[in-house]
């Protein structure tokens, strides 16, 4: 079952979504492959610290965060990857590393890569390493109200 907090949030807002079970996988690319979703259609969450505040960056699985681009887009000189110790307790009911992209329901500012906005549907971790959710991107944007920013590049690995 997806993280209860996420499932309740989506249900309360009348969002149509599909819950997909897949074999256990840990990286966004493995999950996308296991669920037969193209890397760009799978959205991953990356926890970052911006000016000392925890935030969530959401980008396609096949992309990486460019911290110089992120800092420039946000007008700051302090942005870095958060370490697991800093966020492991922020997502109750979720397995570490399988946090859903709805950072807003966990009190986090959410930044979404401009490249993800082009997708009609997105899939993402549902709080476990064996489930994902697929829904319309417009529903994600309506509920999360992320800041759309250019901060990522396509990975070559």
Ordered structural domains, the chain, with CATH: 4-154 (3.90.960.10)
- Please list, in sequence order, all residues whose beta carbon lies within 8 angstroms of the beta carbon of residue 144, skipping any fewer than 6 positions away: 101, 102, 103, 104, 110, 112
| pLDDT reading at 22 higher than 80 | no
| pLDDT reading at 141 higher than 70 | yes
Residues forming beta bridges with residue 109, ordered by sequence position = 55
Work out the average pLDDT over 76-92. 92
**For residue 127, is it left (φ>0), alpha (ψ between -120 and 50) or beta?**
left
pLDDT at 62: 85
Q: Say if residues 3 and 129 touch (Cβ distance below 8 Å).
A: no
| pLDDT reading at 74 higher than 70 | yes
61 pLDDT band, cuts 50/70/90, is confident
C-alpha 149/C-alpha 94 separation (Å) is: 26
């Amino acid at each position: 079952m997806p993280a209860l907090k996420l499932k309740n949030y989506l249900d309360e807002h009348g969002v149509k979504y599909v819950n997909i079970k897949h074999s256990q996988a840990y990286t966004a690319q493995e999950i996308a492959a296991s669920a037969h979703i193209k890397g760009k259609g799978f959205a991953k969450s990356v926890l970052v610290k911006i000016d000392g505040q925890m935030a969530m960056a959401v980008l396609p699985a096949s992309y990486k965060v460019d911290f110089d681009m992120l800092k420039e887009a946000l007008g700051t000189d302090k942005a870095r990857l958060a370490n697991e110790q800093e966020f492991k307790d922020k997502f109750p009911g979720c397995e570490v590393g399988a946090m859903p992209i709805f950072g807003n329901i966990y009190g986090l500012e959410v930044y979404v890569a401009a490249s993800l906005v082009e997708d009609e549907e997105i899939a993402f971790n549902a709080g476990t390493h064996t489930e994902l959710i697929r829904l319309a991107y417009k529903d994600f944007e309506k509920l999360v109200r992320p800041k759309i920013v250019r901060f990522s590049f396509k990975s070559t690995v």
